[in-house]
Amino acid sequence: MTSGSRTKRAGAFADALGRLQRDGGALLVVGATPGNTHERACSRMLGSSDQPRVVCRTDGSCSAGVTGAGPNDRLIDLAVDARSATASVGTGHDGAVPGAAAGEGATRTVVETPAEFGARAAEAVAELTSEADDPRVCVDSLLPLIEELGEERAFEWYHAIAADVRAAGGVCHAHLPVDRDDDLVTRFEALADATVVLRLADNEPQQRWFVHGSVTSDWLSLQE
Amino acid sequence: MPVVERMSESACGAALVVGGSERERERWRTALVDLVSTEAVADGAEALTCIDEGVEVLVVHRDLPDREASELIATVRDRGFSVRAVLLSPERPEGDVVAQGFDAWLQTPVEADLLVRTVEGLLACRRYDRAIADLYELASEHAGREADTLTVRERIHEARSEADAALAAVETIDREALLANSPAAFSEGGQ
């Protein structure tokens, strides 16, 4: 590839990214990568912790975890493991729990069913939309939801979140830590405006964006 | 032969009122009929006899003479009919109505306007059920194949826009029921 065409593609990618940020959109972040590659990507996509964000956690792998949560964050945890005792004890399950454990000032809600998880997420997005023009939302992994609900219902679940956020002009992303050629990715891509593929190349975390119907980026370094 | 009020044997309506006194049934049916084709039957057995794929919403009184209201809803879904359901009850139901298969409950006596708004909400849920099922089917059709063609993308984009619009018509308050009682939850292979 010539440097001219590379520059042209980089320009088209920057334009596409700008449109996504301006108009809102949904991303699917894929790649069965080791280490903290997804976490790095997540922290960039969620934006600054000063802005209100909603983080829907199924496995706690999101960068805005207990220690990374900002003061305006709304954390919604699905206690997949527990129907369980452990997730509900001491966390005020089924209720909003402000406090240090969730990050100073952040609000944490623990729910037991995916349907309730979706309902609380929808409410949080609606609240956020009334406060901010650019809501940022993360679903830290779709895999536990797929395991819990099956593919079709998990698909419906993410559609509801993605459509709400897109309508609010915000950006949401969901992590699907499997290879890009997995059938799951093809299905869930139907819900997204762009697919972001992650990989480790010589131990360097990298990302490549496929903006649907538009442009594909080069492999780009994922800086901390 | 079951008695189906104000309907022919072969033509079930898009909403079906089940149970309550004859006077109540007629009041609820009359309230709904301007919104959606509505029929009324006295009990669960009659409901199961006359239900067909055109029925989208069940309006079920708590005190059916022949079975539990939640049992009727489960049987209807087991038979492959995708319905949304509202429970009518003179007092607050025990337990979680969503977990019992209902999308909403209303206290009787119920104002006609409230009944109409509730059924309108459930019809919006059904429109969403269909739109999201269409999108999933389209997405699945192309899984494992080279999907990134312009035509496929356009079809998926169009189906997604329809699902987005259908979702926008569903009130946030219905979201938990929307997800919990999705037809996919009751279909073969649903979990």
pLDDT one-digit tens code per residue, B37-72: 999 999 999 999 999 999 999 999 999 999 999 999
Give the pLDDT of residue B48. Answer: 97
Pick B83 or A47 by higher pLDDT: B83
Query: In the predicted model, is pLDDT for residue B113 greater than 80?
Result: yes
Q: Chain B residues with CB inside 8 Å of A186's CB?
A: 139, 142-145, 147
Size of interface A-B (CB pairs under 8 A): 96
Give the pLDDT of residue B188. Answer: 59
Helix or strand (DSSP H, E) at A169: none
Contact B168 A114 (CB under 8 A): no
Contact A160 B178 (CB under 8 A): yes
Fill in the DSSP letter of residue A107. E
Contact A167 B180 (CB under 8 A): no
Torsion A80-A85-A90-A95 (CA) sign? positive
Q: Chain B residues with CB inside 8 Å of A189's CB?
A: 139, 147
Q: How many residues are recorded in chain B?
A: 191
Provide the CA B12 distance to its chain's centre, in angstroms: 14
CA nearest to B141 within chain A? A187
Q: Chain A residues with CB inside 8 Å of B132's CB?
A: 155-156, 159
**Minimal C-alpha gap between B176 and chain A (Å):** 5
Strand partners, A221: A206
Query: A86 is written with which tokens?
Result: 């452990």
DSSP SS3 for B20: coil
B153 at interface of A, judged by CB pairs closer than 8 A: yes
The phi and psi torsions of A3 (rounded to 5 degrees) equal -65, -30
The phi and psi torsions of B64 (rounded to 5 degrees) equal -75, 145
Q: Which residue in this structure is represented by tokens 């088209």?
A: A12
Q: Chain B residues with CB inside 8 Å of A190's CB?
A: 135-136, 138-139, 156, 159-160
Q: Chain B residues with CB inside 8 Å of A184's CB?
A: 143
Q: Which residue in this structure is represented by tokens 């966390």?
A: A91
CA nearest to A185 within chain B? B143
Give the pLDDT of residue A193. Answer: 96
Which runs of E-coded beta strand occur in B15-83?
15-18, 38-41, 57-61
Please give the Cα distance from B57 to B68 (Å, whole number): 17
| Whether A144 contacts A78, CB under 8 Å | yes
| Segment A92-147, tens digit of pLDDT | 334 454 443 445 667 889 999 999 999 998 888 888 877 777 789 999 899 999 99
B150 at interface of A, judged by CB pairs closer than 8 A: yes
Q: Chain A residues with CB inside 8 Å of B187's CB?
A: 152
Torsion A122-B83-B38-B53 (CA) sign? positive
**A contact residues 201-220, partner B, Cβ 8 Å cutoff:** 212-213
Cβ burial B46-74 (10 Å sphere, 16+ → b, else e): bbbebbeeebbbbbbbbebeebebbebbe
DSSP SS3 for B173: helix
Select from 1.10.1060, 1.20.1250, 3.40.50, 1.10.3470 the CATH code of A3-221: 3.40.50
Give the pLDDT of residue B7. Answer: 44
Domain boundaries, chain A: 3-221
* Residues in CB range of A33: below 8 A, 6 or more apart: A177, A198, A199, A200, A205
pLDDT band at B8 (very low <50, low <70, confident <90, very high): very low
Please give the Cα distance from A180 to A178 (Å, whole number): 6
CA nearest to B183 within chain A? A153
Query: A221 is written with which tokens?
Result: 């370094």
Please give the Cα distance from B44 to B147 (Å, whole number): 46
| Whether A177 contacts B178, CB under 8 Å | no
**Minimal C-alpha gap between B87 and chain A (Å):** 19
Task: Please count the other Cβ atoms lying within 10 Å of the Cβ belonging to residue B138.
Answer: 18
Q: Chain B residues with CB inside 8 Å of A56's CB?
A: none
B1 at interface of A, judged by CB pairs closer than 8 A: no
CA nearest to A150 within chain B? B191
CA nearest to B170 within chain A? A160
Query: B98 is written with which tokens?
Result: 């969503």
| Whether B174 contacts B128, CB under 8 Å | no
Contact B184 A188 (CB under 8 A): no
The series of mean pLDDT values per 10 residues for chain A, 224 residues long, is 75 92 94 89 84 85 65 84 39 42 71 91 84 83 93 96 91 95 94 96 94 92 82
A23 at interface of B, judged by CB pairs closer than 8 A: no
Domain boundaries, chain B: 4-121, 124-186
Does the domain at B4-121 match CATH 3.30.420.40? Answer given as: no
Give the pLDDT of residue A103. Answer: 54
| Whether A209 contacts A17, CB under 8 Å | yes
* Residues in CB range of B29: below 8 A, 6 or more apart: B5, B6, B17, B38, B39, B40
Mean pLDDT check: name the lowest of A5-9, A22-26, B105-109, B118-122. A5-9
Q: Chain B residues with CB inside 8 Å of A115's CB?
A: 98, 176-180
**Minimal C-alpha gap between A224 and chain B (Å):** 32
Contact B136 A187 (CB under 8 A): yes
Query: B189 is written with which tokens?
Result: 């292979």
Give the pLDDT of residue A110. Answer: 93
| Segment B132-189, tens digit of pLDDT | 999 999 999 877 565 556 788 889 999 999 999 999 999 877 888 999 999 999 985 5
As a whole number of Å, the end-to-end CA separation of chain A is 28
Of A114, A122, A187, the CB nearest to B172: A122
Task: Please count the other Cβ atoms lying within 10 Å of the Cβ belonging to residue B147.
Answer: 17
Fill in the DSSP letter of residue A94. T
Q: What is the ipTM of this complex?
A: 0.88
